[in-house]
Amino acid sequence: MKGELVKARIDRWLWAVRLFRTRALATEACRGGKIRVREDKVKPSYSIKAGETVTIQSGPITKTVRVLGVIEKRLGAKLVADYLEDLTPPEEYELLRMTAAQKALRRDRGTGRPTKRDRREIERLFGDE
């Protein structure tokens, strides 16, 4: 694969494969203990290598990915599959969907009827057309 390295900083790799929107968010997640490699919390400067398994605590779910290739520069979303393999169980994504559904359905007392935007969000979550 073009531009592939042997080792790279984990915060840069997480950002490059689009697991975090910014490198600063990836760095903060490492500092906060939300990133683990082989069950060990890692610093943002940890050198990641191909073949390692990375666990990311992201909101209510825990994502697990295997590093297939190491890069430091951000790439197109279609190319991400060449550099990581998603090992996250489907139950985790279902948990995320249910959490989003609960958030969309929860209405504070006295706020009135759902708005058109709220209704569209509910329809998007439950697949209604």
Structure tokens at 40: 């060990």
Check whether 106 has a pLDDT greater than 80: no
pLDDT digits over 52-83, tens only? Answer: 999 999 878 888 999 999 998 998 889 988 99
Which pairing describes strands 61-67 and 40-41: parallel, antiparallel, or unpaired? Answer: unpaired
CA dist., res. 123 & res. 128, Å (int): 5
For the full predicted model, state whether its pTM sits above 0.75.
Answer: no
Beta bridge partners of 40: 37
DSSP string for 71-95: -SS---GGGGGGTEEE---HHHHHH
pLDDT digits over 11-29, tens only? Answer: 999 999 999 999 999 999 9
* DSSP secondary structure letter of residue 114: P
Helices (H) and strands (E) in the chain, counts: 4, 7
CA angle at 18 for the pair 121 and 66, rounded to the nearest 5°: 110
Check whether 3 has a pLDDT greater than 70: no
